[in-house]
Structure 1
Amino acid sequence: MKWAGGGTATITPFKDQTHSLAKKILPWTIYALLPIALFRLYFYPLQLPQSSTDQLPNTTPITISSSSSSSLSLPPTQFHSSEEEGKTNETPCDYTRGRWVHDRRGPLYNGTTCGTIKDGQNCISHGRPDLDYLYWRWKPKQCKLPRFEPNTFLELIRNKHIAFVGDSMARNQLESLLCMLATASAPNLVYRDSEENKFRRWNFPSHNATVSVYWSPFLVKGIEKSHWEPNFNKLYLDRVDEKWASDLDLIDMVVLSIGHWFLHPAVYLEGDLVLGCHYCPGLNHTEIGFYEVFRKGLRTSLRTITERRGSTGNGIDVIVTTFSPAHFEGDWDKAGACPKKKPYKEGEKQLEGMDAEMRKIGVEEVEAAKENALQFSGFRLESLDVTKLSLMRPDGHPGPYMHPFPFANGVTERMQNDCVHWCLPGPVDTWNEILLQVMKKWEGELRRGE
């Protein structure tokens, strides 16, 4: 065939036939595949991510927002509905073994928007310039520690009262918890004593939940040295401190945290009998170590809780936070008392000496208390073992930033440092992440038992 332009075209009969055949077959192919596709989608639906955070991590650090990833967490009724969570319950996670890994998301809150942080631990507002300490999270060896879920925690304490009892480490942990919960629901301060905020209480109207702090640095009855003698504390190891114990009937969950005050010079008594003392030159008392005194104080407290709540047939949840190590590397009044800016690597720092012994006593006394509580119903006791993971965070203390802008006028010869407490936000937030996992585990066990 010749085209008008003079060219020649070749006619291929098979091409026309193939095109015609395709036009006839294509509709029937679509009709055949459509029912198969519908059948597949009906019985095997597509699995979509549970939340946007599964794909897109929060890349805007240190902010407060009620739209955080925690608001997308499963409700309490679904804590253990999946097969994976069921397996986790069969083999409890060991949160004591792991390492700190860098996390670009940062904390849930910051030091300028949470009004409950004690000034001495508010490192951000006090001008600490290195903020890398905010971008680490604890990674256990055998499992995953989820990011804190404030809405889930609030659901677990709905219509309940959780009390933190102990020394300033108890307050440190409490303030961390309040700041994280405040990202989902604002608390109201409903009680404050006149003793430097040593006894305070907050209420979350959204969940009718109450959170309290009780100052009791020994848990047992104690008279602090400034009140009776300038050099020694006075401890009654057989009597619990009624400043917190008298409210036991009003408390659903108690978190105990003590340790550091037992290192101070003290005289120890049982009844009116003096047992001895710790570092008491000039007194005619037998010198005894503080380890067994610490054990006696914790044992008396756990026994009192068990007996008082057990006698009424009304159980209680008890958590004992283990000893939190300090990180002084020299004199407390020198600028570089705790100078490290990064966590220790795995295996770089061993748990030993006093830190190991204090932690061991706490764990052992909780296990013994569990045995004693078997005769009563409704008791749940657990140790919140944070000693090792805290030991690996020498960078998380306020140091000289326990004071506002300590170097504004240059470096002075003497400068007080805090290498005991933790910056907020900081490593102590991890304690409450683990606490939440313990509570979720308990909730799952309770639901399976119903």
Structure 2
Amino acid sequence: MVLVFFSLFVFFLHPSPTKGEDFSGINNNAGNNRSRSLATNCNWFRGKWVYDPSYPLYDPFKCPFIDAEFDCRKYGRPDSTYLKYRWQPFSCTLPRFNGVYFLRKWRGKKIMFVGDSLSLNQFQSLTCMIQAWVPNSQISYIKRDGLTSVSFLEYDVKILLYRTPYLVDVVNEGFGSVLKLDSIRGGDAWKGMDMLIFNTWHWWTHTGTSQPFDYIEDGGKTWKDMNRMIAYYKGLTTWARWVNRNVDPFKTKVFFQGISPTHYEGKDWNQPTQSCTGQTQPFFGMRYPAGTPMAWVVVKKVLSRIKKPVYLLDVTGLSQYRKDAHPAAYSGLHSGTDCSHWCLPGLPDTWNHILYAALFS
């Protein structure tokens, strides 16, 4: 096991981006030119945050989709500057988001976010951004355990969220709950979509009482635990096989939401005594001091080997700068400090703005 871990560790690290390296956002799946069909010559993911008094893109008090955990204004956040930052790529300008255009182009289509609470964050952001353009449109909003949908009935556009923290299965067996790294039973629910936006990472780091499984299984073998980065690689590889087997690229566009960073430790931006609490400004340095997360390297490795076109929403670098954009104590759900999720309106709006650019530019 030690030899396997060492081999994979070297595999992940070489050749990987160096500490503090800018994120390129290149979607260059090996041997897969079709994956570039959504991309342009502009690199949407390298740029800077600029103050824009016209922001935010919607009024949180007029959007019915924002859960308490992201509703920072409702739960007392006193500052508002964090709402006013717009992402400006260095080499171009993002096209203006137009919710009516989005609905018209995707008329009769189904879009599904698949993943954890960061997928929920992005799902609610997109539905709010669109609803702001059609405030009087008839909408169906259905929330069930594990599946939520917002339908813009006039346009026959349905946007769904399928909650699955690991993408792979967690199954209750007689001896306990098992994270199965080589199994995706829930994938049947993802079929038939016109767009899929996948995400998983944060739950892979949970241990102790915060993890929802007792054992890890792979290839018929069961462990009490294993190196989580190796487990993440194995789980993502299973997801990649699912995409290769089940996605028709002529019918379904596939995106993967990049690693969303946390800001619990101020040492990541050279302020070791701080966290996201009380942060009111982004990090404005050219390079984020903490450098590239190892999970980002794993994602890039898996995507480089996938056969079907998958567009990476490479939001890690631009999100690392936004230490000011978390709910912190201003959440209606988390009793402590939340430096993992993002206020709405806020950073996930930029993720969706780039999604819009990738689709329509």
Bin for the TM-score computed over the shorter chain = 0.7 to 0.9
1:358 to 295, 305, 309: 295
Give, in angstroms, the shift of residue 277 of structure 1.
4.6
Residues 15-49 of structure 1 deviation map (CA, whole Å, 9 limit, x = unaligned):
xxxxxxxxxxxxxxxxxxxxxxxxxxxxxxxxxxx
Give runs of aligned pairs for residues 238-387 of structure 1, distance below 5 A.
Answer: 238-242=182-186, 245-265=187-207, 267-274=215-222, 276-278=223-225, 288-310=226-248, 315-329=251-265, 338-347=277-286, 349-352=288-291, 356-369=293-306, 372-373=307-308, 380-387=309-316
- Partner amino acid for 1:307? R
- Partner amino acid for 1:340? Q
Structure with larger RCO (C-alpha < 8 A, sep 6+): 2
- Partner amino acid for 1:385? D
Q: Which moved more, 1:108-117 or 1:152-161?
A: 152-161
The structure-2 alpha-carbon separation of the partners of 1:307 and 1:293, relative to structure 1 and needing over 3 Å to count, comes to: same
SS at match of 1:191: strand
Partner residue, 1:137: 86
- Partner amino acid for 2:98? E
The structure-2 alpha-carbon separation of the partners of 1:108 and 1:290, relative to structure 1 and needing over 3 Å to count, comes to: same
> Would you say 1:148 and 2:87 are equivalent positions?
no
Give runs of aligned pairs for residues 172-251 of structure 1, distance below 5 A.
Answer: 172-185=121-134, 186=137, 188-189=139-140, 191-193=142-144, 195=145, 198-223=146-171, 234-242=178-186, 245-251=187-193
Partner residue, 1:416: 336
What's the TM-score, normalizing by structure 2? 0.79
Give, in angstroms, the shift of residue 303 of structure 1.
1.6
Identity of aligned residues (%): 30
The structure-2 alpha-carbon separation of the partners of 1:209 and 1:301, relative to structure 1 and needing over 3 Å to count, comes to: same
The structure-2 alpha-carbon separation of the partners of 1:297 and 1:141, relative to structure 1 and needing over 3 Å to count, comes to: same
Give, in angstroms, the shift of residue 250 of structure 1.
2.4
- Whether the aligned pair in 2 keeps the contact of 1:99 and 1:346 (CA below 8 Å) is no
Q: Give the distance between the partners of 1:298 and 1:103, measured in 2 at CA.
A: 37
Partner residue, 1:397: 326
The structure-2 alpha-carbon separation of the partners of 1:250 and 1:293, relative to structure 1 and needing over 3 Å to count, comes to: same
- Whether the aligned pair in 1 keeps the contact of 2:276 and 2:326 (CA below 8 Å) is no
> Would you say 1:439 and 2:355 are equivalent positions?
no
Give, in angstroms, the shift of residue 356 of structure 1.
2.0
The structure-2 alpha-carbon separation of the partners of 1:217 and 1:228, relative to structure 1 and needing over 3 Å to count, comes to: farther
Give, in angstroms, the shift of residue 325 of structure 1.
0.5
- Partner amino acid for 1:393? R
The structure-2 alpha-carbon separation of the partners of 1:238 and 1:383, relative to structure 1 and needing over 3 Å to count, comes to: same
The structure-2 alpha-carbon separation of the partners of 1:402 and 1:190, relative to structure 1 and needing over 3 Å to count, comes to: closer
SS at match of 2:310: strand
- Partner amino acid for 1:249? K
> Which of these two proteins has the greater Rg computed from alpha carbons?
1
The structure-2 alpha-carbon separation of the partners of 1:235 and 1:341, relative to structure 1 and needing over 3 Å to count, comes to: same
What's the TM-score, normalizing by structure 1? 0.64
- Whether the aligned pair in 2 keeps the contact of 1:150 and 1:184 (CA below 8 Å) is yes
List runs of 5+ in structure 2 lacking aligned partners: 1-37, 208-212, 267-272
- Whether the aligned pair in 2 keeps the contact of 1:351 and 1:388 (CA below 8 Å) is no
Q: How many residue pairs were aligned?
A: 311
Residues 121-171 of structure 1 deviation map (CA, whole Å, 9 limit, x = unaligned):
101111111000000011111111233221222123211100000000000
The structure-2 alpha-carbon separation of the partners of 1:344 and 1:224, relative to structure 1 and needing over 3 Å to count, comes to: farther
Q: Give the distance between the partners of 1:116 and 1:190, measured in 2 at CA.
A: 8
SS at match of 1:396: coil
The structure-2 alpha-carbon separation of the partners of 1:94 and 1:416, relative to structure 1 and needing over 3 Å to count, comes to: same
The structure-2 alpha-carbon separation of the partners of 1:315 and 1:400, relative to structure 1 and needing over 3 Å to count, comes to: same
- Whether the aligned pair in 2 keeps the contact of 1:111 and 1:123 (CA below 8 Å) is no
Partner residue, 1:171: 120
Q: Give the distance between the partners of 2:296 and 2:52, measured in 1 at CA.
A: 28
Provide the alpha-carbon RMSD of the alignment: 2.8
- Whether the aligned pair in 2 keeps the contact of 1:187 and 1:202 (CA below 8 Å) is no
The structure-2 alpha-carbon separation of the partners of 1:391 and 1:337, relative to structure 1 and needing over 3 Å to count, comes to: closer
Give runs of aligned pairs for residues 58-137 of structure 1, distance below 5 A.
Answer: 92-137=41-86
